[in-house]
Amino acid sequence: MTVFQAVLIGFVYYFANSAWNASLGLYTLYRPLLGGLIVGVIMGDIETGLAMGLRIQFIFMGFMSTGGSMPSDSTLAGLLGTALAIMLRPTLGDGALDAALSMAAAIGVLGTFVFIGRMTWNTIFIQKAVDAAHRGDLKALFRWHVTIPQLVLATVTIIPITVFLLTVGNENILNQINQAIQFALIPLSVIGKLLPTLGLAITLNAIGKRNTIPFFFIGFVLSQYLKLDIIAITILGVSVAFLVYFGFNPFNKMKMQTPEDITVDQDDDWS
């Protein structure tokens, strides 16, 4: 791990959270699938980058950030987890992927402090931005709303990530990590297999209602027993959803169904 590579990974993390990605960071760089590839390119091991990106992505399959909350930092988990896997793989072999996966999940939890910290210290700058807006001073508004918060965010993300990667990338520390996790490889891989259920359950809870849960089991059976791939399931899902909500009554095609006509449950409470 060279200083340049470490800084570059730190910069990718900053960029994902910065103002310069047109609000696409949450949908692109936050996803370990892409983060893994980028770290793979930076560290010159695209194969491990892709493999690790996939594994960490499974954990964060159902990652949702709503209402100004950050359940877990999938960006940091994806970037640092992949970097660890690439560093450990030469000595640990494929076991490195399982070990780095559990570390990635833990890193994701720690990463939420970056979000909480940023939401907190920005309350200081926002006062200045409000004052600038009240004066009609657009230059000062840009300074306090964009320039300064972004400079601070870049500093507190890029420097710690660089230091972390250079510390962990040290040969002695890598050897210690190797020895420490050697005996725990199976439990670590079990944890890695349990974690995806959480994200999927959170998403199911967010979009599913009492009367749509049966469709979850239909999707499971279509995939597990009938071996349909996800594209086929999506096409079936779109068709069924359309039929239920827009095409149920063939004699009244033009009239849109109102929810009262078809929705059975009045309350979403399941208890």
Residue in this structure with the two tokens 């200081």, named with its chain if needed: 124
Minimum Å distance from CB 177 to other proteins?
17
Q: Whose Cβ is closer to other proteins: residue 7's or residue 50's?
A: 50
Q: Whose Cβ is closer to other proteins: residue 4's or residue 245's?
A: 245
Determine the Cα–Cα distance for residues 52 and 34; give it in Å rounded to an integer: 10
Minimum Å distance from CB 15 to other proteins?
13
Q: Whose Cβ is closer to other proteins: residue 3's or residue 190's?
A: 190
Determine the Cα–Cα distance for residues 39 and 237; give it in Å rounded to an integer: 35
Q: Whose Cβ is closer to other proteins: residue 109's or residue 159's?
A: 109
Minimum Å distance from CB 46 to other proteins?
7
Determine the Cα–Cα distance for residues 31 and 226; give it in Å rounded to an integer: 29
Tokens of 12: 């990718």
Tokens of 146: 């964009």
Are 216 and 208 in contact, with CB atoms under 8 Å apart? yes
φ, ψ for residue 125 (rounded to 5)? Answer: -65, -30
Are 55 and 96 in contact, with CB atoms under 8 Å apart? no
Q: Whose Cβ is closer to other proteins: residue 27's or residue 163's?
A: 27
Other beta carbons within 10 angstroms of residue 220's beta carbon come to 11
Minimum Å distance from CB 270 to other proteins?
7
Minimum Å distance from CB 1 to other proteins?
22
Minimum Å distance from CB 170 to other proteins?
26
Are 162 and 6 in contact, with CB atoms under 8 Å apart? yes
Q: Whose Cβ is closer to other proteins: residue 178's or residue 189's?
A: 189
Q: What are the start-end ranges of the E strands in the chain?
A: none
